[in-house]
Amino acid sequence: LGKQPWWKDATFYQVYPASFKDSNGDGWGDLPGLISELDYISDLGVDVVWVSPIFESPQKDMGYDVSDYQKIYEPYGTNGDVDTLLRESHKRGLKVILDLVVNHTSIEHEWFKRSRSSKDDPKRDWYIWKPARYDENGIRHPPTNWRGYFAGPTWTWDELTQEYYLHLYAPDQPDLNWDNDDCREAIYEETMRFWLDRGVDGFRIDTVNKYSKRRDFVDAPVTDPTSADQPAPEMWCNGPRIHEFIHEMHRKVLGPYNAVSVGELSNTPHPSQVIPYVSAAAKELDMVFEFSMIRLGNGNGFGAKYIYQPFPLSTLKAVTHKWQSFIEGTDAWATAFCENHDNGRAVNRFGDASTPEWWLKSSKTLALWQATLTGTLFLYQGQEIGMTNMPESWGIEEYKDIESGNFYAEAVESGDEKRIQATMHGLQIMGRDHARIPFQWDSSPNAGFSSADAKPWMRVHDDYRDINAAKQTNDPGSILNFYKYALKMRKEYRDLFVFGSFELLDPDNESVFAYIKESSVPRGLDGASRKALVILNMSQEEKVCLDIAQALGCLLTEVNLLIGTTGQSEVALKGGQPTLEGWEGR
């Protein structure tokens, strides 16, 4: 393998701070709470903690709307708490990365207040301002017909200076103008070096491919004639100067600080577009999150995101294969993940949460899938205990996310009962809220997230007495202990699982997901390389096991079971045939 950067075989663990652990009973998670659980995180066997945004913010989008990059949002704690977090983490051999949200700021940020104050303000050009268009009746329209990610137009009219400003997300999140040199320098200095100087190890970089907008500001093609606003990601994703900007960020900040970086790369489904961001020679980003897998089930077109589109297992397999093998023969690097704070829980989307038995079995099988994938592995808080989506019986009032609220409101406005129901159904599977409910620590009131008399900012799941970390810590057959074991195995056989190649078997099989990981490191006297066969039964039905020896091209006596979700060392024989139980993985 040669010498590899440390972050390649590291496992990252994402903490959503508002929902992880509340130390002071205000119902909102905080840094002292996170610090108090660092032993839990470290015992899991992960290497890096990624903390979602903790900066000063009006919280219109849960801190992805920053009003002061150098100050911690008071309910989370203080800058001093960050120092403690860094010290206590580093002591345990954990690194810490923060969430860097610099495509946009909050409207409450000083920069934007200055920018909107006058057309002559030196910071006017730090945001994207455009004059209105007027039709033949003198009615005012935005400069383009673009639809934003959270529904509605990407432009908001500002009375004071009589122009529109651009926002790809909420009107409270105006886009910064990266074409302005001073603006970029301020981002590097005030949002990045400030925290790197304090000892932060790197950043998860929000919406990293949207900094360079196309300069012509033209209308997007009309794909939805019923709407005033049209999907237009090609107007702002992977724009003309994007690689120049990211390379500059690397040269001026990430490189000199030796900071690890993982960028969020939505709307970029072609390997040829992804490679330039993560090729080592390009010196841009260490890693990115490519979205094809995490988007499975989303409806097409912006307005349709929450109209659920069922997909067959073969699609999940094909997408996994594509984003496992795209780095072969390149100097680029991959990531593996199936959860984050913007999506429903994996067991509800890719596993089976229909009964406690299938929940347990499928959560372990998903763990085995993730732990055997090539690239750097990212876990999301609660994934390791199989936390599930909010119950379907919970009404729309339990959904707090701005995107959920806006898409639901849009459906209601349409007056179309079918669309309202379909949107609710989609939200129940894919809503961003599911991942944001309080972490289930134990069976005490409020799941041990907050004190018993507190009112958590999101409702605690009804099932927390059955699904919680304390219970699973003491149960050798738990999902949590399976994760710990799987992460150890992943490290021990890193040449196979982290660095190995990926070969998909039987791509059309709609029940069994099987693949071979092969190491490039020769072993034994004959110089042959080690292989692992991963077989995951992604269905409730028993399935005849494929011919293991044949798949691996060796004798069955040469095959060892490294890990299995049932704890059985032998494959069960049913009617003389080796058989996998429902949702068994080996």
Residues that bind ligand TEU in the complex, under the rule CB under 6 A = 61, 64, 101, 149, 169, 206-207, 264, 266, 341-342, 403
CA geometry: angle at 303 spanning 432 and 105, to 5°?
60
* Cβ-based nearer residue to ligand TEU, 267 or 444: 267
Nearer to ligand TEU, 169 or 457 (CB): 169
The residues, ordered by sequence, that sit 6+ positions from 399 with a Cβ below 8 Å of its Cβ are 405, 408, 427, 431, 433
56 or 342: whose CB is closer to ligand TEU? 342
Among candidate residues 206, 290, 495, 584, the one labeled active-site is: 206
DSSP assignment of 108-174, as one string?
Answer: TSHHHHHHHH-TTSTTGGGB-EE--EE-TT--EE-SS-BBPTTSSBSEEEETTTTEEEE-SS-TTSP
Nearest approach, Cβ of residue 233 and ligand TEU (Å)? 9
Count CB atoms within 10 A of the CB of residue 392. Answer: 9
Nearer to ligand TEU, 304 or 367 (CB): 304
Calculate the dihedral angle through the C-alpha atoms of 392, 582, 565, 8, rounding to the nearest 10 degrees. -70
Q: How many helical (H) and strand (E) elements, i.e. helices and strands, does the chain have?
A: 18, 21
Residue whose CB is less far from ligand TEU, 229 or 584: 229
The pair of three-digit structure tokens given for residue 141, joined into one six-digit string: 């329209």
Considering the complex, state which of residue 376 and residue 478 has its C-beta at the smaller distance from ligand TEU: 376
CA–CA distance, 299 with 524 (Å, rounded to integer): 50
Shortest reach from residue 210's CB to ligand TEU, in Å: 8
CA distances from 208 to 102, 211, 259, 577 (A): 8, 7, 16, 50
Q: How far is the CB of 186 from ligand TEU (least distance, A)?
A: 19
| H or E stretch covering 536 | strand 529-537
Q: Regarding beta strands 140-141 and 133-134, do their DSSP bridges make them parallel or antiparallel, or are they unpaired?
A: antiparallel
Query: CB 65 → ligand TEU: shortest distance, Å?
Result: 7
Name residue 26's beta-bridge partners: none
AA letter at 113: K
Residue 328, both tokens: 């072969």
Intra-chain end-to-end CA distance of the chain, in Å: 26
Which of 172, 175, 264, 284 is labelled catalytic?
A: 264
Which residues make beta-bridge pairs with 68?
56
| Interatomic CA distance for residues 262 and 99, integer angstroms | 10
Hey, what's the torsion of the CAs at 277, 279, 284, 287, to 10 degrees? Answer: 70
CA 251, CA 39: separation in Å to the nearest integer?
A: 35
Q: How far lies 450's CA from each of 54, 55, 104, 445, 493, in Å?
A: 18, 21, 32, 8, 39
Give CA angle at 52 (48, 57), nearest 5°: 150
Shortest spacing between CB 182 and ligand TEU, in angstroms: 23
Q: How far is the CB of 289 from ligand TEU (least distance, A)?
A: 9
**Minimum distance from residue 41 beta carbon to ligand TEU (Å):** 21
Distance between CA atoms of residues 474 and 477, nearest Å: 9
- How buried is 94 (Cβ within 10 angstroms: 0-12 exposed, 13-18 middle, 19+ buried)? buried
Residue 42 beta carbon to ligand TEU: minimum distance, rounded to whole angstroms: 25
- The CA angle 481-484-489, to the nearest 5 degrees, is 125
Closer CB to ligand TEU, residue 192 or residue 536? 192
Alpha-carbon 216 to chain mean position: 31
Active-site residue, 30 included: no
Nearer to ligand TEU, 127 or 583 (CB): 127
Tokens representing 540? 């409730």
Nearest to ligand TEU of 60, 364 (CB atom): 60
What residues have CB less than 8 Å from 349, skipping those under 6 apart?
296, 297, 338, 343, 429, 430
Cβ-contact 189, 257 below 8 angstroms: no
264 is catalytic: yes
Q: Which residues are catalytic?
A: 206, 264
